Amino acid sequence: MSYLNIFRRDALRAILAAGVAPFLASRGKADEGRKPNIILFLSDDQKWDVVGYEGHPLAITPNIDALAKQGVAFKNSFVTTPICASSRATLMTGTYFAKHRFNFGTPKLSEKFWPELFPNLLKQAGYKTALIGKLGVWFEDGLWGELGRKIGWNTEDSGLFDVFVPVGRTPYISEDDDGVERHSLDKIERHAREFLAAQDKDQPFCLIVSFNVPHITESMDGQGRYQIAVEEEGSLPGAKVPVSRLSDPAIFNALPDVLTPPIMAGEEAQKWLGTDPTNEFVDYFRLVAGMDRVVGSILQEAKADGFGDDTVVMFTSDNGLALGDRRLSGKWTHFDESVRVPLVIFDPRDQSRAGTRPEEFVLNVDLAPTILDFAGVEIPESYQGHSLVPFVEGAYPATWRTEFYGEHDVKLGQRIPDWIGVRDADYVFAEYADGKKPVYFLTDEHSDADEIVNLADDPAYASVLEAYRKKAHDYQALYAR
């Protein structure tokens, strides 16, 4: 990228950040007797570094960057299962996959979790709840009519959400409920702003803005492509798409067969390795830019409606994505590009930790307890994560996890890999199911942060491998309870 483009990009980000600036600058005195409002922005397939504040040259995210600057942006935020359905079930239930057992190809999420889904608990505590966008979780009966009755899909009953506006992405552009064709991003923007404008200041709300972007769908060219501003388009590559620094064929060739099925290593991967500036790689970043614009627009609406002083804002993703890393596509592995995601929390009522970057391991299983903690709602004993509020309030917890468990189990018939694993500051371990004989990964975080050199077959690490293998299985059994 030329110096001219870098200058234009930085200038553009400064201009676009004006969208969220009024919200962040409000800093008035919040009503101390009132519970805070909560807005959770959840993106779809956004790798941890696909944000401007992490230095990505193609991520036009001035509004998210502004939240990170004024809030707390966690350096080591991970999902415990890197696929949207299971990750979103973890968000709703506050539990690991080992317990909720929900994913594509599995039975529907059991109704036994219903009473303690965090939106349900918020409603019981007096919150108005809304989800605009992608839900991604369904329940045992599997009947959309019954599901609609339960969760308030376009109804006024006592479902999980007082307002639920589902927005799909196949196709991205379709007719909205007013008869106008809109891109999914524009639909989400419209309905989220309408929800905010209709709120009563005497009742707190929790709004989940659940994007289905930057998830790439089939045939992004043409009507599926999100049209961004000319100035933004000028910041994207015009001649050659930059490839991942982990795209060396030697890295790919060292991978076992279990990690190179066609869905991950075939034509799907080539779109991240091509040289055509109109391919899905650039479309992905168009969607990122459009999503950021919508974040700024929604926060502008919140400010205009008088909610700037007492609204906690959170931004994260359901999982990452291999943008050609290891010459792969998809998001189903134990590698950083799959499991590591951005996470920002901004609380206008307490700016003591503004701009900080905690390095502790935080997980998507922590999000439900965090939201309940902000709302002053008791966290159920069934939850398996921990509140992140202390990191935002500046009173770091006396003890915190120094390692964490991850897993992936999906039955889609496309050879998507299943694995369990554990990670700490020293090693990353994963055990992949591959027929009768497991495939092991063990990498050294100190000498190999990119997780390239597999030490699993090195006799010098046999005891380390066994220790981490045992940990992973112990965690799996623990979280299944």
Rounded average pLDDT per 10-residue block, the chain, 481 residues = 43 62 63 88 98 95 98 98 96 98 86 93 97 84 47 50 89 91 95 98 97 77 65 71 86 95 84 69 89 98 97 99 93 98 98 94 99 98 98 90 96 84 99 91 98 98 99 98 92
Domains defined along the chain, listed by start: 3-404 (3.40.720.10), 418-481 (no CATH)
Q: Which helix (H) or strand (E) holds 119?
A: helix 118-124
d(CA 152, CA 161): 6
The pLDDT score that the predictor gives to residue 186 is: 96
The pLDDT score that the predictor gives to residue 212 is: 93
SS (H, E, C) 5-74: HHHHHHHHHHHHHHHCHHHHHCCCCCCCCCCCEEEEEEECCCCCCCCHHHCCCCCCCHHHHHHHHHCEEC
The pLDDT score that the predictor gives to residue 406 is: 99
SS (H, E, C) 415-426: CCCCEEEEEECC
319-357 in b/e form (b: 16+ CB < 10 A) is bbbbbbbbbbbbbbbbbbbbbbbbbbbbbbbeeebbeee
**453 vs 213, 343, 458, CA distance in Å?**
32, 28, 11
Count, in order, helices (H) and strands (E) of the chain: 17, 15
